[in-house]
A and B are shown apart, each in its own frame.
Chain A
Amino acid sequence: DTEVTQTPKHLVMGMTNKKSLKCEQHMGHRAMYWYKQKAKKPPELMFVYSYEKLSINESVPSRFSPECPNSSLLNLHLHALQPEDSALYLCASSQVAGANYGYTFGSGTRLTVV
């Protein structure tokens, strides 16, 4: 299995809702990432998990809450989002170190906040 699977593919939520994005990989990668991507822009790093521990938080607002329950799963919990948070949310995984630095992205969750 060489994929990163993200669910749901599309999500519409109100500003008072609570929702979660899910990411799963079975490649044995011990680093997992959340990126946010706006239209016609490069992905922006949000969070990095290394060996299931949060290692990097790029000053992301607290309305985004990441969770890494095990080495294969990564969640992003959403609460009280703003319309400007509408974007494509990408999950990625990679080996932490070594010669193979393959960095695999999922297809993303298209989030619309209304």
Chain B
Amino acid sequence: QQQVKQSPQSLIVQKGGIPIINCAYENTAFDYFPWYQQFPGKGPALLIAIRPDVSEKKEGRFTISFNKSAKQFSLHIMDSQPGDSATYFCAARGSTLGRLYFGRGTQLTVWP
């Protein structure tokens, strides 16, 4: 049973576009929702994270929108650049020893 559902599986946008990646969860005990960016051959790098008592968080060009009642959250990338081309994973942290449950990932390609 997948704890965090992520869509779309892949996404192609032109430079300057605003890709949006969506995630949904069921477990209301999750208390922390990070997004990770991963380049080929590298480990996931924390991009931005949000707690469920906050509806939106911005860091630079990256924004998380969080809808607690709908149990959904999304990542928006403003003014996307070719260097943003990577795989993005959403995740949710359970209360047991901080284990993370990952979505299946979204492969983003930004064309110049």
Contact = CB atoms under 8 A, between A and B. Distances in A.
Please say whether chains A and B are actual partners in one complex. yes
Interface residues of B, number: 24
B60 interface: no
Interface stretch (A14-22, A62-70, A76-84, A99-107): A99-107
B77 interface: no
Contacts of A110: 41
A55 B93 CA distance: 16
A8 interface: no
Interface residues of A, number: 27
A56 interface: yes
B43 A108 contact: yes
B102 A42 contact: yes
A31 interface: yes
A112 to B, nearest CB: 13
B93 A108 contact: no
A40 B98 contact: no
Given A43-B44, A103-B34, A48 B102 contact: no
B108 to A, nearest CB: 13
A62 B93 CA distance: 27
Contacts of A71: none
A94 B31 CA distance: 14
B32 A101 contact: yes
Contacts of B46: 102-105
B97 A48 contact: yes
Give the 8 A-B CB pairs with smallest separation, nearest first: A42-B102, A105-B43, A101-B32, A108-B43, A107-B43, A105-B44, A94-B98, A48-B97
Interface of A: 6, 31, 33, 40-43, 45, 48, 50, 55-56, 88, 90, 94-97, 101-108, 110
21 contacts: A31-B98, A33-B99, A41-B104, A43-B100, A43-B102, A45-B99, A48-B97, A48-B98, A56-B96, A56-B99, A101-B31, A102-B46, A103-B34, A103-B98, A103-B100, A105-B36, A105-B43, A105-B44, A105-B45, A107-B42, A110-B41
